[in-house]
Amino acid sequence: MIALSDIQDARRRIAGIVRETPVDQSESLSKMVGVPVFLKHEQRQITGAFKLRGAANAVERLSAAERARGVAAASTGNHGRALAYAARRTGARAIIAMSSLVPMNKVKAISALGAEARIVGRSQDDAQREVDRMVAEEGIVSVPPFDHPDVIAGQGTIGLEILEQAPEVQTVLVPLSGGGLIAGIACAIKALRPTVRILGISMERGAAMAASLQAGRPVEVEELPTLADSLGGGVGHANRYTFSMVRDLVDDVILVSEAEIAAGMRHAYLEEREVVEGAGAVGIAALVAGRIRPSGPVLALVSGRNIDMDLHRRVIAGAGGLEDAA
């Protein structure tokens, strides 16, 4: 299990690599919801998403011999970009396996950082099988996107920042996919302030962790095209960390529709003046849609901005989902 001390160590380890991202109060959302609403702007992270924290912590923890073997990961895009960046800093080779559902802008961004991008199958599970093959046959080091203690600890540094930047917060909304982000944040916040509620927000289309929690064990779900593409992918049948941490530390999970995600993206752009990808906007989406009615100060983590700008333009113009934006 991950301890608070692991997250505190990670913060010191990655301090010169990642940004401490700002927290601002949203006047528009505060007025809409009736309580103070804060936004944690992790979309302003160096690689455009929170994933750099976990990837950097994991790579920094590798030995020189491990780095020489190279690193690999299955990714829906943002972890791959972060791992490519972290690997390039240390001179390590990086191979990122992705399914055909990953948007091309994210594939190109990974290649631009010097990593090899491999498109494998139509699901995150297909991409993970390619990583498993490389580990077994080529000796490459796997740095998975969520179910890894160093990755979870790196993401948990956001929780430490939240408590320092918005100490009055009573509820924290966190995008939920494989669970590495919310597991780390919940671990940090619950250890220091156990009364704070942690809510996971995911999309209705193919939310693997939500389905797994309902089943009481990790299960596979069909991956479907969604505006929140970064939240796609499975939990993994051999999940060692995130499933149990989410089950034990997260207070509730809320699912939002494609139209609600689109509305969250529009709010972020038109009211907050922020370009946010669908996965990064799910907390805003839940607030705008009235899915959450907090009684005290609430913070929504805005987790990323790595969206194809043509798609973003169509959503801002009124598209309510991928089908409308086609």
Q: Read off the pLDDT of residues 30-39 as tens digits, 9 standing for 90 and up.
A: 999 999 999 9
Whether the pLDDT of residue 306 is over 90: the answer is yes
Q: Which CATH number fits domain 52-142: 2.30.110.10, 3.40.50.1100, 1.10.1660.10, 3.50.50.60?
A: 3.40.50.1100
Position with higher pLDDT, 254 vs 76: 254
DSSP 121: S
**pLDDT tens, residue by residue, 91-143:** 999 999 999 988 999 999 999 999 999 999 988 889 999 999 999 999 999 99
Residue-level pLDDT at 326: 65
Full-prediction pTM beyond 0.85?
Answer: yes
State how far the Cα of 195 lies from the Cα of 289, in Å rounded to an integer: 25
Q: Are 181 and 175 in contact (CB under 8 A)?
A: yes
Q: Are 88 and 111 in contact (CB under 8 A)?
A: no
Same fold, 4-49+148-325 and 52-142: yes
**pLDDT tens, residue by residue, 191-234:** 999 999 999 999 999 999 999 999 999 998 988 999 999 998 88
Whether the pLDDT of residue 45 is over 90: the answer is yes
Q: Given 3-state DSSP classes, what are the helix, strand and coil percentages for the chain, each rounded to the nearest 5?
A: 50, 15, 40
Whether the pLDDT of residue 151 is over 90: the answer is yes
Helix ranges restricted to H, the chain: 4-13, 27-33, 52-60, 64-69, 78-90, 104-112, 124-138, 149-165, 180-192, 208-215, 242-249, 258-270, 282-288, 309-316, 322-325
Which residue in this structure is represented by tokens 């801002």? 316
Q: Are 32 and 125 in contact (CB under 8 A)?
A: no
Whether the pLDDT of residue 240 is over 90: the answer is yes
Of 43-57, 135-149, 225-239, which gets the smallest average pLDDT? 225-239
Residue-level pLDDT at 104: 92
Q: Domain residue spans in the chain?
A: 4-49+148-325, 52-142
Whether the pLDDT of residue 161 is over 90: the answer is yes
Fold of domain 4-49+148-325? Rossmann fold (3.40.50)
